Structure 1
Amino acid sequence: MRRTNNKLKLLNPAIQTAVAILALTSGGAAYAQEATGAPPVANAEEGVNKVVVTARRREETLQDVPVSVTAFSADQLSKVATPDITALATALPNTTLKASRATNSTLTAFIRGVGQADPLAGFESGVGIYIDDIYLARPQSAVADIYDVERIEVLRGPQGTLYGRNTIGGAVKYVTRKLAPQQDIRVRAAIGDYGQREAVLTASTPVTENARIGGTFAKFKRDGFGTNFATGRGNYDKDVTAMRLSAEFTPTPDLFIRLAGDLTQDDSSPKNGHRLIVGRTSGAPILSNEFDTRGNLLYAMGRQQDVKAHGVSATVEYTLNNEWTLKSITASRRDRSYAPIDFDALPVVDMEVPALYKNEQFSQEFNVTYTGERLQGVAGVYYMDANAFNHFDTILAGAFPSSTYTLGDIDTKAWAVYADGSYNVTDAFSVSVGGRYTVDQRDADVLRQIYLGLGGSPAMGNPGAILFRTDTDLRGGVLSRKDKKFTPRVAVNYKLNSDHNVYASYSEGFKGGGFDPRLNVVGTRIPLATARAGYEPETIETYELGLKSAFNGGRITTNAAAFYSDYQDVQIPGSVAIDTNGDGRDDSFAGVTTNAGKAKIKGIELEAIANLTPNFMVAGMYSYIDAEYKEYIVAGVNVASQRVFQNTPKNSANLRVNYDIPMPVFGHGGKISLIGSASYKGATAQFETPSLLDQESYKLYDASIVWTRTDGKVRVGLHGKNLGDERYKTAGYLFPTLGNEGTLTAFYGNPRTVTATLEYRF
């Protein structure tokens, strides 16, 4: 009985919000406005805008597609000054998007309990990130600031058929804006507290009747939320420069060609954590401000923190006739990160990790789309060749001061063939069937060496380092594996009438196996055969039942889904402290990747939008998830009952309101929009084992006042984020037994901020 009562207490705040959403969407006269979603398409019969998405790689209305998907339009994102894609998570069911520990730009993404928090080479996300249908193979530089965007779509559940490998939790699609047929110049500027100043300039123009060029330049700067008392610099500052260039050609009405390139440079200072424990030897106290720190590692390989990412792509689309369209997507991307990471967050050298990450990828996709009267579908082939490289030192004080050098060099070649189609058996009933066959080839070099003292290794800038021991040397083609998988999807949907669409689906997802770059053969006594085999692929099977409804001529919409997933061989990488000399004190670490055998995940999701009057909109979300390990073997023992799912709060909720007031300014017509939102996140674990880094449930409140001119060319806004100044943990490092001081440091979401924005369109 006590257990039930505790669960009810946990659910209570979220349930109250959900009930309020349902009550507001139960009926009443309403009128259409663009509340959420991609560019709307007018419905002449109802006079209501419908949201169009490309979740199934072809255009469909949001209410018709039998997939759990949420879409955000450029106008919606602009109106509330959404800074980057991580800010979307408060309005998304069962979704966690956040910057990884110690970075501004590396993304940690979880959807429906599936994701990956380790950014090292060898580990890949379970949530696919896409920019214009181009898959980003690595999480570095994936925290994209929002500019030059048309819409963002977030798909929940395994997308193994159309999106392929590493989308077993879902996918996030960042769709950039196509160039306008006439000259288009836009300026966006922002200033705020903590020294925030931002500017985005976008311009495009026709060159000839059949050619257009355009580009965007963006600068995002902010001082630190806190102070680094060891260096005198700000902590959690931001200094990002981004640009995008594109050219579009239409040699004939049936042929479209787009060439695009983008560049992002992050010159922010190293982000250092907040210690949650007193220094074990020095007695260094816990600082009162969660954004203050004393970490003093400033360089990696002689370089200050420096993150650079760039890519080029070519998209060619040819329309054969009203039914057939051919498409080619060619892309190449690279990124490089010099990352000085001070684990202990103290001015002494106790546990420090200077690191370098380098990634590159090439991908090619060809597909064909068919749109007939009753049959619609897409089929294609995909190829990717990628390399993920990192090397770093773990500089560790203690009775045996040492620098452990780790190298991971991972080559991946993947190819796939896929097809997905839907057939309208009747006007009300349709069946969708799809499948994808994937081959994942992984080859790796792994090296781990221990050097004496705290000076670091030769590779990281200390040529005089003395080698003490080589724990792991698996290079020269020793590590290689190939994984193959067919992932099907079947869905049926039935339109009860024009306003209510019920669907049921079964889908599978797959993420290939690999090799842990922190592998310590000597320290953990792993058999060589086990090390060479690597870790196994993980798979998921998901059953989903959903209902998409519209009321009052589409002025009120509700989307509900219930799902159940069977998750197998879950890949759980991690580092653990180890005692290498048997003296009873941890003196090193080792990478340990576990394939947790079995897990069950079930949950519900509800999204609703109600245009209660022509000027008053209410929207909201509620989600519940129950993710539980059933088999988790450690040293031959099933410890599933002692493990939890990370980054997967049981309850999440969000309530948003928008009230428009007609208000002319300086002789121009326009409207003032009063916008507010409240979000709730349940208790969240940072790792599979409970710790002090776990975050209790919390609430966030945002508000905006925005004036928009009638012609849409001018917009002025004042935006407050996290008005309650909630301090909530998003990540951390957990090595309390290592070094002289012990490491238990946390990273936090942004504090309360206030920003003024101005947008002008010439």
Structure 2
Amino acid sequence: MGMEHKQACRLLTCVSGLALATAPSPVTAQDKVGEDQAFERADELSVIIVSATRRESDVQDIPIAVTAIGAEQLERAGVADITTLDTVAPSFNLNASGTTTGGITLRMRGIGTTGNNAGLESAVGVFLDGVYLSRPGVALGDLLDVERVEILRGPQGTLFGRNTSAGAIDIRTKRPRLDVVEGFANLTYGNFDLLNVQAGINLPVVSNRVAVGLAGAVRYRGGFIEGPTGVESNTIDRLVLRGQALFDLGTVGDLRIIADYTEGNDSCCHAIWLQDGPTVNFTAFGLPADGGAPNVGNDALGDLRSNDGQFDTPFETWGVSAQYDLETTFGELTYVGSYRDFEFRTSLETDYTQLRLFTAGASDQAKALGGQNFEPRNNPTNIKTTTHELRLQGKAFDGRVIG
């Protein structure tokens, strides 16, 4: 779905993609002195297991404000990625300004990083299978073969590190199963010709010892807001691939290895001009009488016509991670290590008119042509991240001390 985008424009408001969605309420648990109570239907399971405390626990037994959203709830609500996660978690908010990769800001309870510069790390941390994703744009891939998503509100620095001062999103994918061959496939078609295809398979390689899981997704939609040059906005074009291997090593623990790859070329953030103010006089500033914006008013809104040029950010990200778990006499020893590579390029015409007053990432030739054949320079932003985490968790004195 398109994301809501607001931009000051002449004297009133601009409108970008609009999306309405309804969803079943997720199961929510607040801390014991918190704001809400946990609600569960009588015919559903009374135990909901989450990993918000870095260990598997009943959501009702942990002193953290957390919303646990299962795969079935995400599917029913049509939540395919984190851009629409707010439909099932109202305390979470995502905004995109200019681009959907380098210009994303995440907020929890209205609190988050104020700037949208790609050099800034978010105050709301995103984690995928326990691995920290250093920029929100890295998490733009589809929620593929997900077991659950946990929304943790409030500071989480004690367990999740320094980049979670406003909250955290913990995405958990399904582990390969050692004892069964199974698979899934789904096809979704939505408004504005949105097409989403997902498929996956689980294969035991050595019975009760080794299993592999493979999954992939393709998500595509043509744009539904068009600029004067025919450039479309609010497009989606993504490919997501993920492979996993699980090794049961018996008394020496178990090992899970995950590799994933995502590429996309979304565009966003054209604005529709609704109204001119009565005092607008563009000719006084040497501009055309219409200010370079021929599409204004209800006709522009009805036809979904903007005055903008290119807003493209092709991106590519891949990563590998490994998690090793071992039960010891002192508790459970866990090691999580990862490497991620994230690259995106930027092509923007951000004056919101067809005058091409301001561009970013355009070649000199494209500028000379007034924005036609607009292509990004060879100026990618590349972010590489390596993480290592080692923790020992256990109980002592009959559970009085938990570490």
Q: Which TM-score applies when normalising by structure 1?
A: 0.41
Q: How does 1:115-514 map to 2 (within 5 A)?
A: 115-181=112-178, 182-209=180-207, 210-230=209-229, 232-269=230-267, 271-275=269-273, 280=282, 281-282=287-288, 283=290, 284-285=293-294, 286=296, 288-289=300-301, 291-297=304-310, 305-321=313-329, 324-354=331-361, 356-372=380-396, 373-378=398-403
Structure ranking higher in helix proportion: 2
* Cα displacement (A) at 1:106: 5.3
* Cα displacement (A) at 1:255: 1.0
Q: Deviations over 1:87-116 (max 9, x none)?
A: 222343533124444326853211133212
Change in 2 beyond 3 A, CA 1:295/1:257: same
- Number of equivalences: 331
Q: How does 1:50-89 map to 2 (within 5 A)?
A: 50-89=47-86
Which of 92, 112, 124 is 2:109 aligned to? Answer: 112
Q: Find out whether 1:31 has 2:42 as its counterpart.
A: yes
Change in 2 beyond 3 A, CA 1:161/1:30: closer
* In structure 2, C-alpha distance between the alignment counterparts of 1:168 and 1:156, rounded to whole Å: 9
Change in 2 beyond 3 A, CA 1:240/1:346: same
The one-letter code sitting in structure 2 at the alignment partner of 1:311 is: G
* Cα displacement (A) at 1:277: 6.9
Q: How does 1:612-651 map to 2 (within 5 A)?
A: none
Change in 2 beyond 3 A, CA 1:91/1:185: closer
Aligned residues of 1:69 and 1:155 also touching (Cα < 8 A): yes
Give SS of 1:142's match. Answer: helix
* In structure 1, C-alpha distance between the alignment counterparts of 2:73 and 2:236, rounded to whole Å: 24
The one-letter code sitting in structure 2 at the alignment partner of 1:56 is: T
Aligned residues of 1:102 and 1:272 also touching (Cα < 8 A): no
* In structure 1, C-alpha distance between the alignment counterparts of 2:41 and 2:261, rounded to whole Å: 44
Change in 2 beyond 3 A, CA 1:106/1:212: farther
* In structure 1, C-alpha distance between the alignment counterparts of 2:395 and 2:102, rounded to whole Å: 39
Change in 2 beyond 3 A, CA 1:315/1:250: same
* In structure 2, C-alpha distance between the alignment counterparts of 1:175 and 1:105, rounded to whole Å: 24
Change in 2 beyond 3 A, CA 1:72/1:326: same
* Cα displacement (A) at 1:31: 2.5
Q: How does 1:40-55 map to 2 (within 5 A)?
A: 48-55=45-52
The one-letter code sitting in structure 2 at the alignment partner of 1:328 is: Y
* Structure 1, unaligned runs of 5 or more: 1-24, 34-47, 299-303, 379-762
Q: Which TM-score applies when normalising by structure 2?
A: 0.75
Give SS of 1:326's match. Answer: strand
Aligned residues of 1:105 and 1:142 also touching (Cα < 8 A): no
Give SS of 2:339's match. Answer: strand
* In structure 2, C-alpha distance between the alignment counterparts of 1:351 and 1:307, rounded to whole Å: 22
* In structure 2, C-alpha distance between the alignment counterparts of 1:146 and 1:237, rounded to whole Å: 18
RMSD across aligned positions (CA)? 2.6
* In structure 1, C-alpha distance between the alignment counterparts of 2:190 and 2:331, rounded to whole Å: 50
* In structure 2, C-alpha distance between the alignment counterparts of 1:79 and 1:113, rounded to whole Å: 26
Q: Deviations over 1:365-385 (max 9, x none)?
A: 10011034323534xxxxxxx
Change in 2 beyond 3 A, CA 1:101/1:71: farther
Change in 2 beyond 3 A, CA 1:117/1:215: farther
Aligned residues of 1:219 and 1:240 also touching (Cα < 8 A): yes
Q: Deviations over 1:122-158 (max 9, x none)?
A: 4221111111111111222323422111110011111
* In structure 2, C-alpha distance between the alignment counterparts of 1:113 and 1:193, rounded to whole Å: 30
Structure ranking higher in strand proportion: 1
Aligned residues of 1:261 and 1:313 also touching (Cα < 8 A): yes
* Structure 2, unaligned runs of 5 or more: 1-35, 362-378
Which of 84, 87, 96 is 1:90 aligned to? Answer: 87
Give SS of 1:150's match. Answer: strand
* In structure 2, C-alpha distance between the alignment counterparts of 1:145 and 1:106, rounded to whole Å: 18
* Cα displacement (A) at 1:254: 4.9
* Cα displacement (A) at 1:30: 6.3
Aligned residues of 1:105 and 1:143 also touching (Cα < 8 A): no
Change in 2 beyond 3 A, CA 1:99/1:349: closer
Aligned residues of 1:239 and 1:267 also touching (Cα < 8 A): yes
Change in 2 beyond 3 A, CA 1:192/1:158: same
* Cα displacement (A) at 1:331: 0.5
* Cα displacement (A) at 1:192: 1.9
* In structure 2, C-alpha distance between the alignment counterparts of 1:148 and 1:165, rounded to whole Å: 28
